[in-house]
Chains A and B, each alone.
Chain A
């Protein structure tokens, strides 16, 4: 990226660029949509440490440590990641920082790729930590720099909250140069950094006093922007919602909040007095609206704008139409009938076959967060719970303890998720000698977020080799007596392994060993094809849900036969094992074809 150029960057890339320009020396995080690309986009930098941590809490610990060492530190995660990191987060607000510490949290309104829709702004208030809300790529870079400045000026961690639409929105960004900020060194200060009750008690008033100063700052800050000249009503808004309002009401009076915690309530009050009706347009929770109401200012918002899902220009237009600000909308043209297209596991995904086996066994399956969560959907339909990172094992322990499960209890968890939050659960399974089986679906990457490295892969984010965690040895060291590794592409072997592991009394672990077919490198073996003459149209192969297996033009007894898309088929052979009439065979390679 050329300094001074105008580049088209995504919000995430812009944050990363902002951190680079801010002279950040340590950037850490745990992958999670929609935050992942922040670190990935600077993985190739040699002038800073860019690392994946095993989980968000560790990431924040690392970043806080770096900060105390005098290096500017960036930590990134998705909204639910902050739940994991919240333990450190809440107390980091007490300790304050050394050099600047910025926590970027990407929310996912609409739950495009998440298990809930929580609003990070609530954490800002709970922790007493300032929160900035950029609304596009350009602001994302700008606000990151401001966040570091605030962090150091006020001795506090700073939250930068984006949403999917900000993180994954590309806009024009002007590229600046990197500031040279060498680490200033660690200064011993136990009263500030050792949060024993006696010290912490002293830090609580410091935090509250800091908040007051931050409120003064935001009242005067250029982060709060007033625009428009249309009298009659005004709109307080922040983040991406700001653009939707501008889109719908180009000339309206708008108070845009660049920092949404703490709030510039004096400016809001002044703004409210200049208009007849005051609206708040914010995504998800009525964070700003409640605060304004609590300040005794009349405001409208939640009545007109849904708390469920994402806002959009159309939703904002609809809200203002209901409020009588805009004329009523003619109802939009209905889409022509089309077909639902939920996400599916990739062709050749090594996660799919074990779930077929679990379905066959009739196991009660506690699931976890990752691609394999898609196994909950038809046609696999073989997952019964999915709550949070690492929850599967503890839940399995509990489910087994309840005696309420009708089949064997199996926890399924990915390699990265296991290292993230599964290990304590397995320790508990050993500790309580729970009669469960833990299936670790080791595909050697964090697949769901696009294939990141983790402590089990032996490679760092910046591409250098490191010591991988040995999952099998780890499980054995935890005290699991029955640990086995199986090739998930071999259905019979997987069946046998799971059956034996389930038969084992006490906790057992089965580890699958096929890599993700998409990352780190695309795996494409010789594709397979269906011999139409042999296909009985039983569609048994379709119980796998492989996207490469689709309908054929031909039918048998009124039912569609199948074909395999040779471009996307990875040659994993699982469907071959599912085809009783042996109608699936490999496409011959050129040499074979020539010898026919």
Chain B
């Protein structure tokens, strides 16, 4: 095992400010007299992808990366990211997680077979690792303080409760790094975060029944007048008018059964039938 180096992880979604938050943590550790290394990945991942930052500190740090199962704390700015990175936390370590959920666009369509399932917000998933958990609603706390953008400082405050660093170093790091003019609200958010109580868990975010497979498009040609509304509103381009102005199904497999064409057909000429047997969705997509 590594000598004296300690580690923690910050994780969130691109655009949440994970990098700035980890700079604050690293700066506070540096001010407390530690050798510090902090490593994140940015670039393409920042475009709404999963963003994480490793922070290591001690008298002399080698690897900037935290070995699996060795982080003292994981601070997750988003629920699914807490789950993704929790294997880095050591037995009995701590998880600070914002219960905010950001469902990625790819998992946000229950009309397509590639739907993936967003995990329920449920603290019990950490039980097997004997982790200390702190599930907070940082957005709510920051909103109460008057600036929703200070939510990250609330999370840092909660994180700080698990680290033995003098408050003065934290405050100096925050004052030095947050955007000018927001020092006060961020400091207040940080202090609030140290005290903040566990959040009431939100309603489970489970998806409704999954996609049941391509639907059947039934056109009653003798009623169709070729107005073209259906083909223009179809999100999947299933329908087209041929050169004679006759409506045709050109991409039957893509029909998700949204029924827009049916609802917006002025001539009652389209009927959408669900497939006979629902397709069973695959297992939820796991990361890593």
A residues near B, CB below 8 A?
Answer: 6, 8, 33-34, 112-113, 136-137, 164-165, 168-172, 240, 242-244, 246-248, 250, 312-314, 317, 332-346, 359-360, 371, 374, 377-379, 448-450, 536-540, 542-543, 545-547, 549-551, 553, 555, 557-560, 562, 567-568, 578, 580-581
Min CB distance, A325 to chain B, in Å? 14
Known: A339-B117, A339-B285. Is A580-B104 also a contact (CB below 8 A)? Answer: no
Which 8 residue pairs of A and B lie closest in terms of their CB atoms, listed nearest first?
A: A113-B43, A540-B235, A33-B43, A538-B258, A343-B49, A580-B233, A247-B63, A338-B83
Q: For the complex formed, measure the closest distance between the CB of B169 and the CB atoms of chain A, giving whole angstroms.
A: 13
Q: Is residue B84 within 8 Å, beta carbon to beta carbon, of the partner chain?
A: yes
B46, B65, B129, B256, most chain A CB atoms within 10 A = B65
Residue of B nearest to A108 (CB): B43
Which of A165, A332, A334, A536 meets B259, CB within 8 Å?
A536
Q: Which residues of B have CB within 8 Å of A314?
A: 67-68
Q: Is A339's CB under 8 angstroms from B116's CB?
A: yes
Are A333 and B69 CB-contacts (below 8 A) given A448-B43, A539-B109, A560-B208?
yes
| With A335-B87, A344-B106, A581-B260 already in contact, 17 other A-B pairs whose C-beta atoms are closer than 8 Å | A8-B30, A8-B38, A164-B41, A165-B39, A170-B26, A171-B37, A172-B36, A250-B3, A314-B67, A314-B68, A335-B288, A337-B286, A339-B285, A341-B13, A341-B84, A542-B108, A555-B208
CB distance from B115 to the nearest CB of A (A): 10
Given contacts A333-B69, A339-B104, A360-B237, A567 and B148 within 8 Å (CB-CB): yes
Query: Size range of the interface on B?
Result: 35 or more
Q: A533 vs B12: C-alpha distance in the bound complex, in angstroms?
A: 33
Distance from A449 Cβ to chain B, minimum over Cβ atoms (Å): 7
A344 contacts B286, CB within 8 Å?
no
Q: How far is the CB of B27 from chain A (nearest CB, A)?
A: 6
0/1 interface trace, chain B 206-244, chain A, CB 8 Å (1 if under) = 011100000000000000000000001101110000000
B208 adjacent to A172 (CB under 8 Å): no
Closest chain-B Cβ to A554's Cβ sits at a distance in Å of: 10
B5 part of interface (Cβ distance < 8 Å): yes
Are A343 and B48 in contact, CB atoms less than 8 angstroms apart? yes
Is the beta-carbon distance between A378 and B45 smaller than 8 angstroms? no
The A-contacting residues of B in range 244-287, CB under 8 angstroms, are 256, 258-260, 263-264, 283-287
User: B interface vs A, CB < 8 Å?
Assistant: 2-3, 5, 13-15, 23, 26-27, 30, 35-50, 61-69, 80-81, 83-87, 102-112, 114, 116-119, 125, 129, 148, 203, 207-209, 232-233, 235-237, 256, 258-260, 263-264, 283-288
Give bound CA distance, A567 to B139, whole Å: 12
* Cβ contacts under 8 Å, B86 to chain A: 335-336
A332 / chain B contacts, CB cutoff of 8 Å: 68-69, 87
> Is B111 a contact of A559 with CB atoms below 8 Å?
yes
Whether the Cβ atoms of A379 and B45 lie closer than 8 Å is no
Contacts of B256 in A (CB 8 A): 539
With A339-B104, A341-B104 as known contacts, state yes or no: A379 contacts B47, CB within 8 Å: no
Q: Which residues of A contact B39 (CB under 8 A)?
A: 165, 168-170
Once A33-B42, A536-B259 are accepted as A-B contacts, the answer to whether A542 and B14 lie under 8 Å apart by CB is: no
Residues of B within 8 A of A313 (CB): 2, 63, 65-67
CA distance A445 to B104 in the complex (A): 26
Give the distance in Å from the alpha carbon of A547 to the alpha carbon of B286 in the complex: 20
Tell me whether A333 and B129 are in contact (CB under 8 A): yes
Are A343 and B46 in contact, with the CB atoms below 8 A?
Answer: yes
B107 CB, min distance to chain A CBs, angstroms: 5
Cβ of A547 and Cβ of B63 under 8 Å apart? no
Given the complex of chains A and B, what is the CA–CA distance between A246 and B111 in angstroms?
50
Nearest Cβ distance between residue B195 and chain A, in whole angstroms?
Answer: 25
Q: Which residues of B contact A338 (CB under 8 A)?
A: 80-81, 83-84, 119, 286-287
A542 touches B105 (CB 8 A): yes
C-alpha spacing A538/B258, complex, angstroms:
5
Pair A336/B125 contact, Cβ less than 8 Å:
yes
Query: Which residues of B lie under 8 Å from residue A339 when comparing CB positions?
Result: 80, 103-104, 107, 116-119, 284-285, 287
Bound CA–CA A333/B68 (angstroms): 9
The docked-state distance in angstroms from the alpha carbon of A588 to that of B17 is 28
| Bound: A557/B39 CA distance, A | 46
20 contacts between A and B (CB under 8 A): A6-B30, A113-B44, A168-B39, A169-B38, A313-B63, A313-B67, A317-B67, A332-B87, A335-B288, A336-B86, A337-B83, A337-B284, A338-B287, A339-B117, A339-B287, A341-B104, A344-B104, A360-B237, A450-B42, A560-B108
- A540 touches which one: B41, B260, B283 (CB < 8 A)? B260
CB distance from A424 to the nearest CB of B (A): 26
Q: Are B119's CB and A550's CB within 8 A?
A: no
B87 and A345 contact, CB distance less than 8 A: no
* Contact A550:B103 (CB < 8 A) given known A169-B38, A317-B67, A343-B47: yes
Q: Which residues of A contact B119 (CB under 8 A)?
A: 336-339
Which of chain B's residues have a CB closer than 8 A to the CB of A553?
203
- Provide the bound-state CA to CA distance between A97 and B222, in Å: 81
Q: Are A546's CB and B118's CB within 8 A?
A: no
Question: Is B47 in contact with A344, judged by CB distance below 8 angstroms?
Answer: yes
**What separation, in Å, do the CA atoms of A545 and B104 have in the docked complex?**
9
* A537 B23 Cβ-Cβ under 8 A: no
Given the interface pairs A448-B43, A538-B260, the reply to whether A547 lies near B114 with Cβ below 8 Å is no
Q: Chain A residue with minimal CB distance to B207?
A: A560
Cα-based distance from A560 to B285 in the complex (angstroms): 20
Q: In the complex, what residue of chain B is closest to A241 when comparing beta carbons?
A: B63
Q: Which residues of A contact B107 (CB under 8 A)?
A: 339-340
Task: Give bound CA distance, A112 to B109, whole Å.
Answer: 26
Q: When A136-B64, A170-B38, A334-B87 are in contact, do A8 and B23 touch as well, CB less than 8 Å?
A: yes
Inter-subunit contact B258/A539 (CB<8 Å): yes
The chain A residue with its CB closest to the CB of B14 is A343
Decide: A340 and B125 in contact? CB cutoff 8 A: no
The reply to whether B63 and A246 contact each other, CB–CB distance below 8 Å, is yes
Contacting pair A172 B67 (CB below 8 A): no
Residues of B within 8 A of A538 (CB): 111, 235, 258-260
How distant is B144 from chain A, measured CB to nearest CB, in Å? 17
Q: What separation, in Å, do the CA atoms of A242 and B61 have in the docked complex?
A: 12
What CA separation (Å) do A141 and B203 show in the bound complex?
Answer: 51
Nearest CB in chain B: distance from A523 CB, A: 14
